Amino acid sequence: MHPFLLPFWSIKMQFWATVLLDGLTYASYLFIVSLGLTIIFGVMKILNVAHGSFYAWGAYTSAFAIGFITDNDLSEALFLPAILISAILVGVVLGYVIERFILRKMYNQDIHLIVLATFGVFLIFEDLIIITFGVDPYLPYQPAMMLGWVDIVGLNRGVYQLSLILLASIVAFVCWYGLTKTKWGKLLQSVIYDREISVAMGIDVTKVYVVTFIGGAILGALGGAYVAPTTSVSPGFAIDLVVLSFAVVVIGGMGSIPGALIGSLIVGILRAFAVHQAPILELFVVFAVMAIVLIIRPEGLFAPPKPRKI
Amino acid sequence: MSNDTVLKASDLNKSFSGIVAAKDINVSITQGEIVGIIGANGAGKTVFVNMITGYLKPTSGKIEFLGEDITGIEPRNATHIGLCRSFQISQVFMTMSVKQNLMIAMSLSKKSGKALLDPIADEEISKECDKILELYKIIDQSDNIVSTLSQGIRKLLDIAMAVVGNPKVILLDEPTSGVSVEEKFGIMDIVIAALKQTETSVLFVEHDMEIVERYVDRVIAFYQGEIICDAPPKEALSDKKVIEYVLGH
Amino acid sequence: MFTGIFKDTSVRILITFMIVLCILSSLVLPDWMQNNFMYGLSRGLAILGLMLLWRTNLVSFGHALYYGFGAYAVALCQKYFGITDILLRFAIAVIAAGLLGFCLGFILRKYREIFFAMLSLAFSMVLYGLLAKAEFLGSTDGMSISPSTLLGMELTRQYLFYLITFFVICAAISIQAYLRSTLGHLTTAIQDNEIRVEYLGYSVQKAIHIKYVMSACLAGGAGGLMAASLGQVDPDSMVNWNVSGELVFITIMSGWGNILAPFIGAIIFEFIRTYAFEWAPQAWAAIVGGTLLAIIFFFPGGIWSVIEKVFNYGKKKDVK
């Protein structure tokens, strides 16, 4: 602790600093994953339960790659590319397969059935994990080990965990830039705003759907791939996360990208607060907020503007 | 036709964030009267009907039904006290048969509380439904699913469902809209004859002046949210203001 | 309300089937089969509740809330009040879940479609969050439940079986009576045209609320019976979101044309589960997922629609 800060620092501030730091870390991987989920909802109006599969598969693939690098004594510099490539690979392959073979056949069906279909897909891919990777947990701690620890405001945290915050910020920036400054981004915003008009304007909505779904899948996988070194990757890894990312998306506003950011921050910090102050409330508080938002403002805190239909 | 006032609207006003949709509306309907409401689109006819039947709450003013103040009433309560309406776009149960539609309407009007848990297949109610179906001349369509039937039949069903409780007043919102020209008069003949039998007061919103002339005792003309004329048809349809603002000559 | 209910074909088939089942189970059925029927019938109650909601186009993604609440009510009543009587247990489960459903119903009846689904999910996860972290409730290990008694006497597994069939018959008869009543017909009517229902004089929200409470009672009863049959309750197998998902899955698999459908579907589900665990234990989730997709794509009306076609059953409620 820097001597200059000592007189101003207290136990209380220490507590809040901890909550803020841990909260930001939680919020970071929640944001990366939820961003994908909310974009998919915004463009395709689908609540994708299978998003958990992207997360889980991203984590497993990344864990596997890290293990491979470690076992074969390859350069540590390969860790980051391995993680990123895992995410992209999983996003593209799983994303394409699911969109092409399941979702494309269901676009005009009842929204409940679509959600249930994605639930079915999620279950199948959960089992495929066991078949592919086995039931034993993976502990790909090497990248985290490599970056070491640091003292920050009196707390000892892994540098790798903190880099999650950096990653989330980069993702947020790229996303903001992409959506507002590029042609593709503007196309996407148009389709989110009003599908019918977009079709009428000649936008190839099917292509937009495929690209969106794969993009969202990559984000989901990235969350899992990057988080893997901080935890143990085992079957059922994604179950809690699926419903937490739903809470984030509902709180922030389904289909809203700033909403995903605010939602993740709210959920992340609430969780951190609960964990350090009243662990019994950890999950309760998140879902209570989700319920309250749904009751008071069902569209979420940052619902995307809806076009007036008449 | 007695002279008892069944429905009275006094100084009704309605504005939507600054836009005046209805201004100083005063209307009085006696039992058994048939009143036509005319006016260009957006003149305030539907707003008026919606206020009377509880779909909209007036910004100010009073509505009295059979002497009781019903301003701001909920639609379902209006139905219970005998003030019913039909819809411009027939609101019927598309996936059920004509008979089933009417059975539900009749059961809801005749029963309440625990009786609603009794089986809907009730001899008595079935007979009453048949009577109404005959009155409206759609008894042959009893078992047909509504989604397969023409707009005209749906209209008749829509109105039949509105009269199951033998209401004192019924508001028909553009009863012949969406109905083919050949069917229009046929339908109105059936409806007005049926309603005259029960001495029900009728207000109907209509654009077709031939229909208005033929069936009403009185015409009320709207323009820009206000009533510009309230008189028997011959007078009303030759009134200067009506000719200019409603008939568009 | 119940006049002539025993003349109803579906009710007669159900009662006959239950009697035959009871006879078979006391004479012939091996234990594992009897268990499957017990679990299937119990869970079938929850599915019946979900079917009621489905017919009004409402899908609850959080019905495990009532299922688990009923189960935990039984566990808590044993822990703190020493209650083991099966009749009391069932009553407690049904009433507790019903009260919760009554309270939450005030909020939920205002929502439709995806918001109804998400809000019900949120409520169920609120309970999950509490139970999973609550040390005094066993957190994720849950609580155990000692065997039930009946009016002070020991209750054998066989007699528990008989009682479950009895409860199922009572519930199914009540629901059938409801479905053929005016209020029950409002189910389909609301799905068809809410505005008209309001203008016919009945509050749509009230109708939905009543239906919601009924489905909560059924799910609670199911949870209570499962708790008694399994002897164990824990959040992950009774309250978590994937349990809700499983319940909805069985609802879709069963179909919703008749009160028999949920029980047939739930029983089939138990048997598939048994066989799946024997032949391909790692693939259980994939089998559920695959079946779910198959049903959505190829048999949207569920098993019941197949039965209808095969036997030309046609149990649409006529209002002649």
CB-based contact (8 Å) between C23 and chain A? no
Read off the tokens for C252: 């879709």
Residues whose CB falls within 8 Å of the CB of residue A118, separated by 6 or more in sequence, listed in order = A46, A47, A48, A49, A50, A51, A98, A102, A103
Q: Do A239 and C115 touch (CB under 8 A)?
A: no
- The DSSP line for B84-95 is EEE-SS----TT
List B203's β-bridge partners, or say none.
Answer: B35, B171
Read off the tokens for C3: 């006049």
Which of C55, C58, C61 has the most A C-beta neighbours within 10 Å, making it the best mutation to test the interface with A?
A: C61
Does residue C3 register a pLDDT over 80?
no
Give the three-state DSSP class for B18.
Answer: coil
Does residue C108 register a pLDDT over 80?
yes
Q: Do A250 and C122 touch (CB under 8 A)?
A: yes
Does residue C212 register a pLDDT over 90?
yes
Q: Do A124 and C290 touch (CB under 8 A)?
A: yes
Please name the residue of chain B whose CA is at the shortest distance from the CA of residue C175. B117
Mean pLDDT over C271-283 rounds to 84
- pLDDT digit string, tens, across residues B164-173: 888 889 999 8
Name the nearest CA neighbour of B150 among B67, B92, B107.
Answer: B92
Give the pLDDT confidence score for residue A1 in this predicted structure: 53
Give the pLDDT confidence score for residue C194 in this predicted structure: 87
Q: Do C293 and A288 touch (CB under 8 A)?
A: no
Give the pLDDT confidence score for residue B90 in this predicted structure: 87
The model's confidence at residue A306, banded by pLDDT at 50, 70 and 90, is: low
Which of B100, B103, B111 has the most C C-beta neighbours within 10 Å, making it the best mutation to test the interface with C?
A: B100
Give the pLDDT confidence score for residue A8 in this predicted structure: 62
Among A119, A135, A284, the residue with its CB nearest the CB of C129 is A284
Residue indicated by tokens 């009275």 = B8
List B227's β-bridge partners, or say none.
Answer: B222
CATH of domain B5-247: 3.40.50.300
- pLDDT digit string, tens, across residues A12-31: 777 888 888 889 999 998 99
Residue A236 phi, psi dihedral angles, 5° rounding: 90, 5
Residue C232 phi, psi dihedral angles, 5° rounding: -155, 140
Give the pLDDT confidence score for residue C318 in this predicted structure: 39
CA distance C249 to A121: 13
Give the three-state DSSP class for C170.
Answer: helix
Among B96, B109, B114, the residue with its CB nearest the CB of C201 is B109
Q: Give all strands of the β-sheet with B19-30 in edge-to-edge order.
A: B19-30, B5-16, B60-65, B68-69
Q: Which residues of C115-143 are buried (b: 16+ CB within 10 A; e: fewer)?
A: bbbbbbbbbbbbbbbbbbbeeebbbeebb
CA distance B165 to B108: 9
Does residue A6 register a pLDDT over 70?
no
Distance from CA of C280 to the nearest CA of A (A): 11
What ranges do the domains of chain B cover? 5-247
Residues whose CB falls within 8 Å of the CB of residue C125, separated by 6 or more in sequence, listed in order = A243, A247, A283, A287, A290, C62, C241
The model's confidence at residue C319, banded by pLDDT at 50, 70 and 90, is: very low
Which chains have 3 or more CB–CB distances shorter than 8 Å to chain C? A, B
Q: Do A111 and C114 touch (CB under 8 A)?
A: yes
Q: Do C292 and A117 touch (CB under 8 A)?
A: yes
Name the nearest CA neighbour of C227 among C130, C88, C122, C127.
Answer: C88
Q: What percent of chain C has pLDDT over 70?
A: 98
Give the pLDDT confidence score for residue C320 in this predicted structure: 31
Residue A126 phi, psi dihedral angles, 5° rounding: -60, -45
Which position has the higher pLDDT, B17 or C52? C52
The model's confidence at residue C152, banded by pLDDT at 50, 70 and 90, is: confident
pLDDT, chain C, mean: 88
Residues in chain C with CB shorter than 8 Å from the CB of A281 are 129, 133
Give the pLDDT confidence score for residue C42 in this predicted structure: 94
Name the nearest CA neighbour of C165 among C63, C70, C34.
Answer: C34
pLDDT, chain B, mean: 86
Mean pLDDT over B186-213 rounds to 87
- pLDDT digit string, tens, across residues C157-182: 888 899 999 999 999 999 999 998 88
**Structure pTM?**
0.86
Residues whose CB falls within 8 Å of the CB of residue C33, separated by 6 or more in sequence, listed in order = C25
Does residue C134 register a pLDDT over 90?
no
Does residue C98 register a pLDDT over 90?
yes
Q: Do chains B and C touch (3 or more CB pairs under 8 A)?
A: yes
Give the pLDDT confidence score for residue A232 in this predicted structure: 87
Which position has the higher pLDDT, A95 or A205? A95
Residues in chain C with CB shorter than 8 Å from the CB of B87 are 195
Among A123, A135, A242, the residue with its CB nearest the CB of C286 is A123
E strand residue ranges, A188-248: none
Contacting C residues, span 201-240, partner chain A, CB-CB under 8 Å: 240
Q: Do C200 and B92 touch (CB under 8 A)?
A: no
Q: Are C239 and C133 in contact (CB under 8 A)?
A: no
CA distance C164 to C177: 20
- pLDDT digit string, tens, across residues C32-48: 888 899 999 999 999 99
B69-73, C38-42, C279-283: which is most confident: C38-42
CB-based contact (8 Å) between C126 and chain A? yes
Mean pLDDT over C286-314 rounds to 84
Residues in chain C with CB shorter than 8 Å from the CB of A239 are 240-242
Give the pLDDT confidence score for residue B39 in this predicted structure: 87
Residue indicated by tokens 């008069």 = B185
Among B79, B115, B120, the residue with its CB nearest the CB of C319 is B120
Give the pLDDT confidence score for residue C49 in this predicted structure: 95
CB-based contact (8 Å) between C7 and chain B? no
Mean pLDDT over B114-134 rounds to 85
Give the three-state DSSP class for C312.
Answer: coil
The ipTM estimated for the assembled molecules is 0.83
Which position has the higher pLDDT, C117 or B17? C117
Which chains have 3 or more CB–CB distances shorter than 8 Å to chain B? C
The model's confidence at residue A88, banded by pLDDT at 50, 70 and 90, is: very high
Interaxial angle between packed helices C284-298 and A111-133, expressed in degrees from 0 to 180 and rounded to the nearest 10: 150
User: B203-207, C51-55, C172-176: lowest mean pLDDT where?
Assistant: B203-207
Among A127, A290, A291, the residue with its CB nearest the CB of C286 is A127
The model's confidence at residue B1, banded by pLDDT at 50, 70 and 90, is: very low
